[in-house]
Copies of this chain bind each other. A is one copy, B any other.
Amino acid sequence: MIATISKRGSFSAAHRLYNQQWNYKKNIEIFGKCAYLNYHGHNYEYIVSLTGKVNKVTGFVFSLNNLNEIIQNEIIDLFDHKNINLDINELSSINPTIENISIFMWNKLRNKISLDLSLKITLYETKDNFVEYDGK
């Protein structure tokens, strides 16, 4: 039997949206307040979802304790209380929209989780704005 197990959690980080090819006026036009120069913060909430067979011995698709440890090492240690534009090398030249952050998180976690399990990231920037990405 196939089920999906999900772990929700959060990290707090600063970011600023902008495209270096554009002047400030154009950045404000496209990204609104998110382009303000001096960064702003969100309490990001994520859901990491794994889909696969329920193991008959444990009753688990995947241990949530193990998943939490992987998320801690791969995501929280990197993002929590950081400035996404300034502190994360791999994202320094990528506009940190929730779309791009989700894709980055998905790639980080995909390397650490068996390919027998499919992986999906849901990422909330605020309770009203969120993205889902499953590797497609």
B19 near A61: Cβ-Cβ < 8 Å: no
A2 contacts B136, C-beta separation under 8 Å: yes
Query: Do B97 and A128 touch (CB < 8 A)?
Result: no
A3-B131, A3-B132, A54-B100 given; A59·B94 CB < 8 A: yes
Q: Give min CB distance, A53 to chain B, whole Å.
A: 10
Interface of A is mostly: mixed
Please provide the chain A residues from 37 to 88 with a CB less than 8 Å away from any CB of chain B in the complex: 49, 54, 57-61, 63-65
Quick check: is A6 within 8 A (CB to CB) of the other chain?
A: yes
Question: Assuming A3-B133, A133-B1, is B100 touching A59 (CB within 8 A)?
Answer: yes
Q: Does A112 sit at the interface, judged by CB under 8 A?
A: no
Evaluate whether A131 and B59 lie within 8 angstroms (CB atoms) in the complex, with A54-B100, A54-B103, A65-B32 already known: no
A-B contact pairs, 9 of them (CB 8 A): A5-B99, A5-B131, A17-B59, A49-B132, A54-B103, A58-B97, A59-B94, A59-B95, A59-B97
Interface residues, chain A, with chain B CB atoms under 8 Å away? 1-9, 17, 19, 30-32, 49, 54, 57-61, 63-65, 94-100, 102-103, 127-133, 136
